[in-house]
Amino acid sequence: MARVLIVAGGCRGRGLAEALVGEGHAVRITTRSERGRAAIEATGAECWVGTPDRLATLRGALENVTVLCWMLATATGPPEELDALHGSRLEFFMTQAIDTTVRGVVYEAGGARGAATGAAGAVGAATTSASEMLAGGEAIVRSLAERNSIPVAFLTADPLDRDAWPAEALAAVASLLSRA
């Protein structure tokens, strides 16, 4: 049995968790507050209250994790916060994961790379476009994973495609678990 950590416990993360739990895997999902606990636990996953806005709250979530899933391509907020989620915070969290049991990383690259939006629903163009932001995150993950010989998978299906995204996400985790 493997443990999968899903950073971001929204609807898609919970759907993936439910499928993984159904296959016999242990899943831990992060949520920013206690409000998400009931929905997460209803999937059979363990709930971890923590946020990428304060990475120290996520450090313990890496304990005994085999595959880390950074599922934030559709995160919303001010452009500078979104840039950090796919830039400096992602890079720091990835470096924290290196010296753990993590043996694979799934990065949600956002389908057509236009999924991430700013606070009012407009692409965070003040600093970088959503496409550039997600491409930058992909480059960070690719570089750190390559340097540390950690297998990685990138989700490119449209996060809003209710058939393609779940199938791609489940296949990505399965491919990494088969190498672990």
Residue 113 pLDDT grade (very low, low, confident, very high; cuts 50, 70, 90): very low
Q: Which residue has the tokens 């999902």?
A: 29
Give strand pairing partners of 105: 68, 152
Q: Which pLDDT score, from 0 to 100, does residue 123 have? A: 41
Give strand pairing partners of 3: 26
Question: For residues 128 and 83, is the Cβ–Cβ distance under 8 A?
Answer: yes
Q: Which pLDDT score, from 0 to 100, does residue 60 have? A: 96
SS (H, E, C) the chain: CCEEEEECCCHHHHHHHHHHHHCCCEEEEEECCHHHHHHHHCCCCEEEECECCEHHHCHHHHCCCCEEEECCCCCECCHHHHHHHCCHHHHHHHHHHHCCCCCEEEEECCCCCCCCECCCCCCCCCCCCHHHHHHHHHHHHHHHHHHCCCCEEEECCCCCCCCHHHHHHHHHHHHHHHHC
The domain 3-179 is placed in CATH, from the list 3.40.50.720, 3.40.50.1970, 3.40.190.10, 3.30.420.40, at: 3.40.50.720
Percent of the chain at pLDDT exceeding 70: 90
Q: Is the pLDDT of residue 116 over 60?
A: no
Q: Check the CA dihedral 62-93-113-37 and report its sign.
A: positive
User: Residue ranges per domain, the chain?
Assistant: 3-179
Question: For residues 29 and 48, is the Cβ–Cβ distance under 8 A?
Answer: yes
Q: Which pLDDT score, from 0 to 100, does residue 111 have? A: 63
Name the pTM for this structure: 0.90
